[in-house]
Amino acid sequence: MISTPNLPERLAAVVGPAYVLTDPADLAPYLTDWRGRYRGDARCLVRPGNTQEVAAVVRLCAEAGVPMVPQGGNTSLCGAATPDGSGAAVIVSLARLNRVRAIDPLNNTVTVEAGCTLASVQEAAQQAGRLFPLALASEGSCQIGGNLSTNAGGVQVLRYGNTRELTLGLEVVLPNGEIWDGLRGLRKDNTGYDLKHLFIGAEGTLGIVTAAVLKLFPLPRAQITAWLALESPRAAVDMLARTQANFDARLTAFELVSDLALDLVIRYIPGTAKPSGPAPWYVLCEFSDGGSEAELRGQVESWLGECLEAGFIGDAVIAQSVAQAEKLWQLRENISEAQKIEGISIKHDIAVPVSRLPDFLARADAALAAAFPGIRIVAFGHVGDGNLHYNLSKADRQANDEFIACQPEANRIVHDLVHSLAGSISAEHGLGQLKREEILRYKDPVEMALMRSIKQAIDPRGLMNPGKLL
Amino acid sequence: MISTPNLPERLAAVVGPAYVLTDPADLAPYLTDWRGRYRGDARCLVRPGNTQEVAAVVRLCAEAGVPMVPQGGNTSLCGAATPDGSGAAVIVSLARLNRVRAIDPLNNTVTVEAGCTLASVQEAAQQAGRLFPLALASEGSCQIGGNLSTNAGGVQVLRYGNTRELTLGLEVVLPNGEIWDGLRGLRKDNTGYDLKHLFIGAEGTLGIVTAAVLKLFPLPRAQITAWLALESPRAAVDMLARTQANFDARLTAFELVSDLALDLVIRYIPGTAKPSGPAPWYVLCEFSDGGSEAELRGQVESWLGECLEAGFIGDAVIAQSVAQAEKLWQLRENISEAQKIEGISIKHDIAVPVSRLPDFLARADAALAAAFPGIRIVAFGHVGDGNLHYNLSKADRQANDEFIACQPEANRIVHDLVHSLAGSISAEHGLGQLKREEILRYKDPVEMALMRSIKQAIDPRGLMNPGKLL
């Protein structure tokens, strides 16, 4: 290791002095995550302007033996972009790599730099008459490099897949400062190990993603949104299978909402109201098509009519306008916000096989009610992905404060059950700092050893985003 | 390395003497590929009966320092399952691991062992009312373990993706004999590096895939097949984009056929005839839906009518029955067979961005015609995947024999052009022995070094399928 006191100056020589922050006041926003859960320290933050500069920054840090923390929009829910408290790290911000490099409508691809916000990628696609389907609450500020590094999910995974499935090629600066140009836009390419999948979801621990070739899709011309009332999660899972049999990929969202979750939204979010008769569970579903809206509407109406008659669903409301559809989506999208207004809660982001969702809910609800009398469970999520957000609190504020202290016990109950159902304790959000220890309880040691051998092969000195994921 | 003369006996002690072949006559069919292009030698072939036995076999071979060649249905087009000539290797046949372990229609997954034939996986899905969409010419004999190890493609990739996209989980015996149980059936799981993608497409060089969890889809209830006549590849690419804009995922196949390719089929395959008026190019397309066939037929008819009127296509024939649809598919599926009857040819399996397919065809045709006067080019393939089978020969048998000797020069022209168009010299078939040297001309050294470091991390002694891929 060479001496490092002049590292900020050497970095400034590469990227320009304006793009190296060392003043604690300037640095502060980058040293904590947006939920304020983690706080760290850093030598400096550096903002390279292109891939070559990222590579030069990485080479300088690597020569100095200094750890690097890549940071995009800093919207991680697991502290994956927050440095540790040692102050040893350099934060590498990708914000200036924000160009759309190319768009190829006939190949259905867009080539973007890591610092593009998700919204700007969506916009570039739309301007070319195409859809980039990844959609998240934080899309205005999260960056595509972060989406790639955490394999972000969202509400359209049912039809289009996670970020991983939306990616054809990557450009990555490796821990030694070399650039891997894997920016291929091919649907088929069987010429060796598929390296891009190593970096997607690696949370910056194997290198810094600087650009990607992403898949585009035709823009749907018709969309029909419907709200269904259901007796149980089992009814929702059955209804999903039936509806997919009829509509296949034209069913583009199928979101579960519990009555309790809906109640919170109605209570705290102005202008909201129950769209249907009351029921213990609801599903917000969306159908999309490239053809005529009238035709799609007719098919959805007749299908939901059949299901009502057969008793598969208790009620169904079909939005008659874009405004009505947006009202329905508001009910789903404001659950987290409503819950936040009411107070703090213990959150889970779990997945199980779709067929076991009802089992998970029945058993988790029962075990938690037994362990924590008076517990309030707000469950909602993506039925088709087997992915639930499963948030726990108590109605009374003081009781809730005591309950929050029981997070480890509550996690244990939920995660052990998820594991026994062959599920995942982090479906969408990654491990970051938050679940890095917790995962050791559940991952097969053979898998952990494989992961460590990959890390050792690509980042032998452990300089890339230390303390995250592994 | 310990002494190995008694290895067959020690393997027999694990799997039973009936499942170790050492007699040269018994071994012969496993020492060559089905096209007879490669011929190797082996110590013995061993047929373990389950994953534990595979692990025990691998441990014994690893202890003895003996290389292993995993073999499925032995249908590789690149010699990936054929041992080298040294006679040092043990062939590990997966044929006895042929159970469907589980099927979960509500989760849309099937868990199968590596030795299941592709056809048996399709059948198991169908019996559960689901579709497993991977479909290949060799589906009756190829095994799913081989499909996984080569990331097999086929005609439905447009809608459903390659084998990689169809896989949720894997079980793999690692080079040290440990078993990695990654048999998860989850649509979302962000808990570390996605290891399954390392083994998919690795051609057995990182371990032996013993089982997988695969995605299932709703069985289409309606299918409409159509044959289009077109002026040019450009017209085909444009027609694909337009048709996808209207039908999105309901367009499930879009196969290009040149007039010359069709001529060969008509000449050599009994009972075939041109379905439409003559044109330089044709497209076979298929539309699938979960709804009513009459409705889908109406939509396809009116769409193709519009396209005829607008001059986007020159002619269109819509199959009026399953038998007629099969007749159309025969024209596409018999191209390789017809070509084989006529004589030997130089084959390519290339991919370029879809938008550059017309450019590739124009430039490759011109360069080859200049280099080899009288050359006959048979081009066909998967427009939506940018993947063409591009086969070269001469009509006259003697001229053809001379031409075949020019394979290196022909490959150079085709592959250099593919590379300059950011394409792939092996879209579907893998590298195996066939393109292991050729790829070094085109792969970025950074990428080769990354691949080698992965190989070194997982198989440091290089015992898994040596001489393939890397």
Cβ B189–A352 below 8 Å, yes or no?
A: no
**∠ CA B196-B202-B208, rounded to 5°:** 75
Residue holding tokens 């044109």?
B279
* CA gap A275, A256 in Å, rounded: 15
* Span B289-304, average pLDDT: 95
CB-based burial of residue B153 (10 Å sphere; 0-12 exposed, 13-18 middle, 19+ buried)?
A: buried
* Residue of A150, A179, A237 lying closest to B106 (CB–CB): A237
pLDDT of residue A3: 56
Cβ A355–B104 below 8 Å, yes or no?
A: yes
* Global pTM value: 0.97
Please check whether residue A156 is in contact with residue A220, taking contact to mean a CB–CB distance below 8 angstroms: no
* A120 φψ region: left (φ > 0), alpha (ψ -120 to 50), beta (else): alpha
Q: Give the distance from residue B125's alpha carbon to the nearest chain A alpha carbon, in angstroms.
A: 14
pLDDT of residue B395: 87
Q: What is the pLDDT of residues A268-315, one digit of tens each?
A: 999 999 999 999 999 999 999 998 999 999 999 999 999 999 999 999
Please check whether residue B412 is in contact with residue B372, taking contact to mean a CB–CB distance below 8 angstroms: no
pLDDT of residue B38: 94
- Structure-block tokens of residue A227: 């709200």
Residues 6+ apart with CB under 8 A from B235: B281, B312, B313
Which chain A residues are within 8 Å of B353, Cβ to Cβ? 104, 107, 109, 185-186
SS3 content of chain A, % helix, strand, coil (to 5): 40, 20, 40
* Span B65-70, average pLDDT: 98
Which chain A residues are within 8 Å of B456, Cβ to Cβ? 457
Is A100 at the interface with chain B, CB within 8 A? no
Q: Number of Cβ pairs closer than 8 Å across A and B?
A: 288
* Residue of B161, B192, B382 lying closest to A469 (CB–CB): B192
Q: Which helix (H) or strand (E) holds A140?
A: none
Q: Which residue of B has its CA nearest to A438?
A: B191
The full DSSP string for A297-329 is HHHHHHHHHHHHHTTS-SEEEE--SHHHHHHHH
In chain A, positions 17-76, which contact chain B (CB-CB < 8 Å)? none
* CA gap A454, A448 in Å, rounded: 10
For an interface test with A, give the residue of B179, B188, B195 to mutate (most A CBs within 10 A): B188
pLDDT at B1 over 70: no
Cβ B181–A244 below 8 Å, yes or no?
A: no
Asked whether the ipTM of the predicted complex exceeds the cut of 0.95, the reply is yes
Q: What is the pLDDT of residues B143-164, one digit of tens each?
A: 999 999 999 998 899 999 999 9
Q: Give the distance from residue A64's alpha carbon to the nearest chain B alpha carbon, in angstroms.
A: 22
Is B351 at the interface with chain A, CB within 8 A? yes
Is B289 at the interface with chain A, CB within 8 A? yes
* E-strand stretches of B292-398: 315-318, 349-351, 375-382, 387-394
pLDDT at A82 over 50: yes
pLDDT at B300 over 50: yes
Q: Which residue of B has its CA nearest to A428?
A: B190
Task: Give the pairing type, strands A130-131 and A217-218.
Answer: antiparallel
Q: Give the distance from residue A213's alpha carbon to the nearest chain B alpha carbon, in angstroms.
A: 12
Is A3 at the interface with chain B, CB within 8 A? no
pLDDT of residue A4: 74
Is A385 at the interface with chain B, CB within 8 A? yes
CB-based burial of residue A262 (10 Å sphere; 0-12 exposed, 13-18 middle, 19+ buried)?
A: buried
* CA gap A388, A281 in Å, rounded: 14
pLDDT at A194 over 90: yes
Please check whether residue B296 is in contact with residue B357, taking contact to mean a CB–CB distance below 8 angstroms: no
Q: What is the pLDDT of residues A315-354, one digit of tens each?
A: 999 999 999 999 999 999 999 899 989 889 999 999 999 9
pLDDT of residue A1: 45
Q: What is the pLDDT of residues A8-54, one digit of tens each?
A: 999 999 999 999 999 999 999 999 998 888 999 999 999 999 999 99
- Structure-block tokens of residue B202: 């690795």
Q: Give the distance from residue B382's alpha carbon to the nearest chain A alpha carbon, in angstroms.
A: 10
Is A461 at the interface with chain B, CB within 8 A? no
The count of other CB atoms within 10 Å of the CB of residue B431 is: 25
Cβ A429–B153 below 8 Å, yes or no?
A: no
Q: Give the distance from residue A189's alpha carbon to the nearest chain B alpha carbon, in angstroms.
A: 4
Strand partners, A287: A224, A251
pLDDT at A112 over 80: yes
* CA gap B101, A450 in Å, rounded: 25
The full DSSP string for A154-208 is -TTHHHH--GGGGEEEEEEE-TTS-EEEE----S---SS--THHHHTTSTTSS-E
pLDDT at B378 over 50: yes
The count of other CB atoms within 10 Å of the CB of residue B407 is: 12
pLDDT at B3 over 80: no
The full DSSP string for B249-266 is GGEEEEEEEEHHHHHHHH
Q: Which residue of B has its CA nearest to A206?
A: B193
Q: What is the pLDDT of residues A202-259, one digit of tens each?
A: 999 999 999 999 999 999 999 999 999 999 999 999 999 999 999 999 999 999 999 9
* CA gap B411, A447 in Å, rounded: 41
Its sign, for the CA torsion A226, A287, A104, B420, is positive
Q: What is the pLDDT of residues A242-257, one digit of tens each?
A: 999 999 999 999 999 9
Q: Which residue of B has its CA nearest to A186?
A: B353
Q: Give the distance from residue B232's alpha carbon to the nearest chain A alpha carbon, in angstroms.
A: 15
